[in-house]
Amino acid sequence: MITYHTADYLYPITSAPIKNGVIGLDESGKITAVLDPASPTYAAPATAPIRHEGVLIPGFINTHCHLELSHLVGKSQTGKTLLPFLVDVITMRASDQATIDAAIMKQDKLMWEAGIQAVGDICNKADTAATKRASPIRYYSFVEMFDFLQPAAAESNFETYLKAYEEQAGSNEERVKGKDRKAAVPHAPYTVSDPLYALINSVNTGQETVSIHNQETPAEDELFQTGGGAFVDFFKGFGASLDNFEAPGITSIRHAMKHMDPTKRTIFVHNTLTSDDDIHAAHAWGQSGVYWATCPNANLYIENRLPNYARFLNTDAKVTIGTDSLTSNWQLSVLEELRTISKYQSYVSFATLLRWATINGAEALQFADLGSLEVGKTPGLLELKNLRGTDPDTYGIGEFTEVERIS
């Protein structure tokens, strides 16, 4: 049975918005028709479309989340800056398994209800695996590895994280079905030694997407450019010496690119301080596509700063949206991330924000049937509510206060 839906505007994302557009869905949620009533070839559907307020869009893609940290909501204070925040995550994350599992299941359900169709999820353990297998959300599990720049610990740490990788959703059978996928990834340039990069690369033997945290704080580039800065004391606090670390004299992202595989589709995450030159360098390096995940609410929560999004617009960068974790956010909602960008950097247009939140993320995670309203896809269908006005040129994401899932 086909059901039809219409609203003031339909946003296919990969084509122009359609005023009073009509979309047909079969019982599985697959799109059977995208219709423009203004087209001379338009034929009214056999059954009257269900009318919705506001606009219709595809499901959101959350390209950066730490679902396994959901039990830490409210534990770390805002505005502490990155290094004290990292100390909190490391020292506070232990809890009883029942509490961890309940928080994971709750937030998975809330993300689905908030219109999130797929998630790029960072894992250090296998805590989220069972929830992911049962969830309607598509997951790309990025099993994150680190050794605090201690080459002697690379192999033992790798073996520990490899167990989490093997237990995560994303078996060969699941990959064939296209539901869940996984990859081994480095945490950040400042926590991964050269030998560990090589071990991580050895796991990813297909066409994986990978991710890495990037340039969140001034101390990160300082470490790689001079060998000094706040990270020296940070590592000492965990008993990790940097006596044998030699600063390469380049920015942290350029150091990471020297050790990561340029043939992998790559998501750089946060990018709060990334320069135009570094963006151009990454684009020249990446052979299978480079994407830039922004998590604005986490940036504000931790360091009270945002990236300069004009840099990404001016360099034709493919930006995606992430929520980070509940350690560094008040909720896991893509809509709230978009509203924050619009509030503080309102020159980023409504249409651009929608693209960042949908098709760019679907491309980054290689979920080809998500991210846009096109016949044959099953991207989910959302209704953005509480729109003031009907002229698309005046739309602001801040005018939408609610999202409702249709499929």
Do residues 201 and 173 share a domain? Answer: yes
Nearest alpha carbon to residue 335 among 109, 111, 53: 111
What pLDDT shows up at residue 177?
52
Cα–Cα distance for residue pair 95/97, rounded to 1 Å: 6
What pLDDT shows up at residue 400?
84
Cα–Cα distance for residue pair 350/319, rounded to 1 Å: 14
Do residues 361 and 238 share a domain? Answer: yes
* Number of compact structural domains in the chain: 2
What pLDDT shows up at residue 97?
96
Q: What is the mean pLDDT of residues 388-407?
A: 79
- Taking the CA atoms of 52, 54, 55 and 59 in sequence, report the sign of the dihedral they define: negative
Do residues 51 and 195 share a domain? Answer: no
Does position 407 have pLDDT exceeding 50, yes or no? Answer: yes
Do residues 158 and 138 share a domain? Answer: yes
| Within-domain flag for 119 | yes
Give tens-digit pLDDT for 183-234: 999 999 999 999 999 999 999 999 999 999 999 999 999 999 999 999 999 9
Token pair 């300082």 in the structure block, residue: 222
pLDDT above 70 covers a percentage of the chain that reads 96
Give tens-digit pLDDT for 45-80: 989 999 998 899 999 999 999 999 999 999 999 999
Do residues 15 and 107 share a domain? Answer: no
Do residues 303 and 391 share a domain? Answer: no
Cα–Cα distance for residue pair 182/168, rounded to 1 Å: 8
Angle at 153 between CA 152 and CA 156, to 5 degrees: 125
3-state helix, strand, coil in the chain (%, to 5): 40, 20, 40
Do residues 309 and 390 share a domain? Answer: no
Amino acid at 110: L
What pLDDT shows up at residue 391?
64
Check: CB of residue 162 under 8 Å from CB of residue 120: no
| Within-domain flag for 371 | no
Structural domain boundaries, residue 89: 60-365
| Burial group, residue 403, by CB count within 10 angstroms (0-12, 13-18, 19+) | buried
What pLDDT shows up at residue 244?
84
Does position 293 have pLDDT exceeding 70, yes or no? Answer: yes
Identify the three-state secondary structure at position 55. Answer: strand
pLDDT-based confidence at residue 393 (cuts at 50, 70, 90): low
Nearest alpha carbon to residue 371 among 123, 120, 161, 125: 120
Check: CB of residue 22 under 8 Å from CB of residue 4: yes
Do residues 339 and 382 share a domain? Answer: no
More confident residue, 134 or 399: 134
181: CB partners within 8 A, 6+ apart: 139, 140, 141, 170, 174, 175, 208, 209, 365, 366
Helix (H) or strand (E) holding 166: helix 154-167
| Burial group, residue 275, by CB count within 10 angstroms (0-12, 13-18, 19+) | middle
Q: What is the CATH number of the domain that holds 171?
A: 3.20.20.140
Give tens-digit pLDDT for 224-283: 999 999 999 999 998 898 988 999 999 999 999 999 999 999 999 999 999 999 999 999
Do residues 317 and 343 share a domain? Answer: yes
| Within-domain flag for 100 | yes
Q: What is the mean pLDDT of the chain?
A: 94
What pLDDT shows up at residue 173?
47
| Burial group, residue 294, by CB count within 10 angstroms (0-12, 13-18, 19+) | buried
Structural tokens at position 47:
């059954």
Check: CB of residue 158 under 8 Å from CB of residue 150: no
| Within-domain flag for 370 | no
What pLDDT shows up at residue 175?
44
Nearest alpha carbon to residue 200 among 240, 137, 146, 132: 146
Does position 399 have pLDDT exceeding 90, yes or no? Answer: no
Torsional class of 233: left (φ above 0), alpha (ψ -120 to 50), beta (otherwise): alpha
Do residues 324 and 389 share a domain? Answer: no
pLDDT above 90 covers a percentage of the chain that reads 90
Give tens-digit pLDDT for 9-42: 999 999 999 999 999 999 999 999 999 999 999 9
Do residues 147 and 203 share a domain? Answer: yes
What pLDDT shows up at residue 394?
72
What pLDDT shows up at residue 331?
98
Do residues 244 and 387 share a domain? Answer: no
Give tens-digit pLDDT for 142-185: 999 999 999 999 999 999 999 999 998 764 444 435 568 999 99
What pLDDT shows up at residue 380?
98
Structural tokens at position 265:
């589709």
